A = this chain, B = another copy of it.
Amino acid sequence: MTRSPPTACPQDRTYDPGRRVHQVSTQVIVLNGGSSSGKSGISRCLKAILPLPWINLGVDDLIDRLPPSLTDSGSGVAFGQQGEVILGDGWRELETAWTTGVAAMARAGARIIIDDVFLGGRTDQERLRAHLKGLDVLWVGVRCDSVTAAAREIARGDRVPGMAAIQAETVHTGVVYDVEVDTTRTESLDCARTIAKHVS
């Protein structure tokens, strides 16, 4: 298992010459997956089974907090007819500040599960990685077959139709993970157990 940045040498963080080897522990868990792939369910299971207290914060939390000026005008977040998500300049500015703050929470000692949707694939991971620099991050890919995700979108009934299918594959393009789970045939709790084994 590698962590953030996966290219870094783990020993750098665990070996402190002249003093002692100190315990390294995971500070952030990033769950990346398309809409209706099952990230929220996994997040709740992780909070229930991990021995230390974790909180969750995700991109949907920021969307829920946007003012009418950003949701009505299209300068923030808008949704297309086919379920595509359109991000405006107003969004990017806010998202950057939001992510800076979430990273600061983690540096201040809160263990955080970030649930995200890398619409831009690898580019989004790199941007997030830069924000989380210095933190011990576990990168998790949450996959779900696109037909299954689209079916779950209908069963939920509260999401913009089409998002699940559009995002299922694209959000993983070029992204590097420490662990991947697939909710197509595995329950959220079992996925969470797999992930938990990688949490130190």
Contact = CB atoms under 8 A, between A and B. Distances in A.
Interface of A: 41-42, 44-45, 47-48, 50, 53-57, 61-62, 65-70, 76, 90, 93-94, 96-98, 100-110, 148, 151-152, 154-157, 185, 187-190
Contact of A47 (B67, B107, B156): B67
B188 A185 contact: no
How many copies, total? 4
Contacts of A42: 155
Contact of A154 (B45, B98, B107): B45
A151 B105 CA distance: 30
A105 B109 contact: no
Given A90-B53, A94-B110, A189 B151 contact: yes
Given A108-B101, A151-B187, A188-B151, A67 B96 contact: no
A97 B108 contact: yes
* Best-buried of A70, A98, A106 by chain B (most CB within 10 Å): A98
Contact of A50 (B45, B57, B67, B148): B67
A188 B152 contact: yes
